[in-house]
Amino acid sequence: MVLLAFPIVSADGQSPAALREALQNRYDLLSRSLVAGAPGLARQVIAEAYAEVGDTAIRGRDAKVSALLSVVRRYPDVGPIHTTIESVHREPGGTVLALTRITTHARTEDRASVLREEVRRDQWTQRAGRWQLTRSELRTATDGELIPGPGAPTSERLVTLLADIGSGHRHALEEFWAEVADRGPLVEAIRGDSTHSLVTFLFRHSAQTIDVGLFGELPYPVGGGRSLIRLPGTDVWYRSLRTPNDTRTTYGFDIYRDVPGAVGARNRFIVSVMDPRNPMQFNEASVLELAGASPQPYLAARPGVPRGRLVRDSLTSAVLGEKRLLTIYLPPGWDSVPGTFSVAVLFDGGAYGGSRTALVPTPTILDNLLADRRIPPTIAVLVHQRRREAELNGSTLFTRFMADEVMPHVRATYRGSESASRVIIGGSSLGGAAAAFAALARPDVFGGVLSQSGAFWLPQAPNDVARQALIPPVTWIVDEFVRRPAVPLRVWMEVSIFESTGKMLAPNRQLRDVLRAKGYDVTYREVHGGHDYLHWRASLADGLVALLAPR
């Protein structure tokens, strides 16, 4: 059934950017008509904006409009309709475009906003030069999310503070700040919800402070922004977020301050700072770690556990035309153990244990895993990047370097296994996407993929202009897995629900679905963390065990 149809562009010769703009214009028009809240006006606007395609299509449009208007009656404030293109591909029936559509509705109650967010997946098909909305599926609908208005705290401790001040308690504020010193955010139970806590971030006002915001990957409600709220009559800035109990992430504050003597746009500046009341810090950010966060048994060195050693190595590459640095981890007893070793290749080698400033203690993690016999004797190859974005964004040249130069060197020098089933390749963000591409391109060398928050949303660099024009771009790496025949790979991948939905979460889910549909061996999980090494260092051991442990 065709739901809506209209001419946008011809079948050929139009850029994807223009296509997305045309679609967005139609959605914007629909949004504006819904704001009016009148059924007759909404139907009239839709009738004018979309070509009629038979009685069936008209009934389909009426049903969709009626459903939207029923939501509008409960949530009369309609925000912009945001779209994210998931894929564009050709089928026998025409060109098919799939996109995610997010609509935010709201109503005001007692100086607070109550939200409803709808996430739909729309499929458009181009037939005879016309684009038709051939499918529209409701994915999720979050009803009744509350965003507090100014002066309406949901934290019981802040409510008590206001009551104490109102009753004339002269030292209530100072006692409050003394109570929360060196504690980080307030964490309070939520009645009737055993899986979440109310986390309240606190910042103390100073004379120069104009505004305060949060930075970091956190469960911000849709449309709620990141600003803190000034508690009336106090020096307390706060923001309360309903947060899953297994959260582990980083955060900080963006402080907007006056510039003395300046005027206009130059009269304020932003300072990003860690939480001065939180002793838990990591990589120049404050740490939020709730009681249900996953254990991290392999991060710290253990007394009595044999330690492997790191070897600084280099390789002159004919493919790249330069000398490249590698750091090799050799397991305890490497010299005396006969035979070959499993191999774990990790991009961003400096961050993954190959430098003094490493953020992930990969050598220690491997020592502990080996001591607990969770993995077989394993060599780690930590690959240092020089031109990170170019090397880790679908570079066939860098993939050749890894498969045809690095791995033969590892086999010849360190007795790495020649069996692809015992060799995994991985990384985080761009490194996760690069690992997936390398293994797809060279399954004769790499038999496993470890992806931590893989950046599958990025356009292929440097010359894929059509994809770069899309915002966000088509997920090219997913298209590669769709286009190419399935190969013998095992894939372990994870992504955080807090990471920006359009850029990180949706493409990871899309790749997961493609891999499963094509019969790949996939382990996939979604976590409550950030796009940062605080989480990646905690989960690396899980990926290594999943891919390296004998089956």
Summarize pLDDT for 141-181 with one digit per residue, the tens.
555 544 444 434 578 888 888 888 888 888 989 999 999 99
* pLDDT band at 65; cut points 50, 70, 90: low
* pLDDT band at 6; cut points 50, 70, 90: very low
What per-residue confidence (pLDDT) applies to 465? 37
Q: Is 396 exposed, middle or buried (0-12, 13-18, 19+ CB in 10 A)?
A: exposed
Tell which wins on pLDDT, 304 or 30: 304
Tell which wins on pLDDT, 421 or 467: 421
Q: Is 156 helix (H, G, I), strand (E, B) or coil?
A: helix
pLDDT for 360 beyond 60:
yes
Q: Is 226 exposed, middle or buried (0-12, 13-18, 19+ CB in 10 A)?
A: middle
Backbone angles phi, psi at 297, to 5 degrees: -75, -10
pLDDT for 45 beyond 80:
no
What per-residue confidence (pLDDT) applies to 442? 95
Q: Is 367 exposed, middle or buried (0-12, 13-18, 19+ CB in 10 A)?
A: buried
Q: Is 504 helix (H, G, I), strand (E, B) or coil?
A: helix
Q: What is the mean pLDDT of residues 397-408?
A: 93
Q: Quick: pLDDT tens for 212-243.
A: 888 888 887 755 567 888 887 888 889 889 89
Count Cβ atoms below 10 Å from residue 123 Cβ, excluding itself: 17
- Are 100 and 84 in contact, with CB atoms under 8 Å apart? yes
- Are 258 and 161 in contact, with CB atoms under 8 Å apart? no
What per-residue confidence (pLDDT) applies to 264? 46
Q: Out of 206-210, 250-254, 347-351, pick the least confident.
A: 206-210
What per-residue confidence (pLDDT) applies to 156? 87
Output DSSP code: residue 41. Answer: H
Q: What is the mean pLDDT of residues 20-34?
A: 54
- Are 379 and 341 in contact, with CB atoms under 8 Å apart? yes
* pLDDT band at 477; cut points 50, 70, 90: confident
What per-residue confidence (pLDDT) applies to 5? 38
pLDDT for 391 beyond 50:
yes
What per-residue confidence (pLDDT) applies to 149? 43
Tell which wins on pLDDT, 394 or 472: 394
- Are 46 and 68 in contact, with CB atoms under 8 Å apart? no
| % residues pLDDT > 90 (the chain) | 40
Residues in contact with 90: Cβ distance below 8 Å, sequence separation at least 6, in sequence order: 96
**CA gap 291, 195 in Å, rounded:** 11
What per-residue confidence (pLDDT) applies to 415? 95
What are the structure tokens assigned to 248, written together?
A: 């582990």
Q: Is 174 exposed, middle or buried (0-12, 13-18, 19+ CB in 10 A)?
A: exposed
What are the structure tokens assigned to 358, written together?
A: 């490493």
Q: Out of 72-81, 360-369, 499-508, pick the least confident.
A: 72-81
Q: Quick: pLDDT tens for 436-455.
A: 999 999 999 999 999 999 98
- CA 369 to chain CA mean position, Å: 28
Tell which wins on pLDDT, 474 or 385: 385
Tell which wins on pLDDT, 7 or 244: 244
Domains annotated for the chain, with CATH where assigned, are: 4-142 (3.10.450), 156-289 (2.60.40.10), 309-548 (3.40.50.1820)
pLDDT for 14 beyond 60:
no
How big is the chain by its Cα radius of gyration, in Å?
Answer: 27
What per-residue confidence (pLDDT) applies to 143? 54
Q: Which residues pair with 203 in a beta bridge?
A: 237
What per-residue confidence (pLDDT) applies to 160? 87
Q: Out of 33-37, 277-281, 304-308, 381-385, pick the least confident.
A: 33-37
* pLDDT band at 369; cut points 50, 70, 90: very high
Q: What is the mean pLDDT of residues 301-310?
A: 94
pLDDT for 299 beyond 90:
yes
* pLDDT band at 244; cut points 50, 70, 90: very high
pLDDT for 460 beyond 60:
no
Tell which wins on pLDDT, 34 or 412: 412
Q: Is 317 helix (H, G, I), strand (E, B) or coil?
A: strand
Q: What is the mean pLDDT of residues 104-122?
A: 58
Q: Out of 52-56, 233-237, 290-294, pick the least confident.
A: 52-56
* pLDDT band at 193; cut points 50, 70, 90: confident
Q: Label the pairing between strands 521-527 and 490-496.
A: parallel
- Are 430 and 389 in contact, with CB atoms under 8 Å apart? yes
**CA gap 258, 240 in Å, rounded:** 26
What per-residue confidence (pLDDT) applies to 175? 93
Q: What is the mean pLDDT of residues 12-41?
A: 50
* pLDDT band at 378; cut points 50, 70, 90: very high
Per the prediction, the chain carries an average pLDDT of 78
Q: What is the mean pLDDT of residues 482-493?
A: 92
**CA gap 514, 496 in Å, rounded:** 19
What per-residue confidence (pLDDT) applies to 23? 58
What per-residue confidence (pLDDT) applies to 521? 95
pLDDT for 17 beyond 60:
no
**CA gap 434, 399 in Å, rounded:** 8
What per-residue confidence (pLDDT) applies to 527? 92
Q: What is the mean pLDDT of residues 83-104?
A: 67
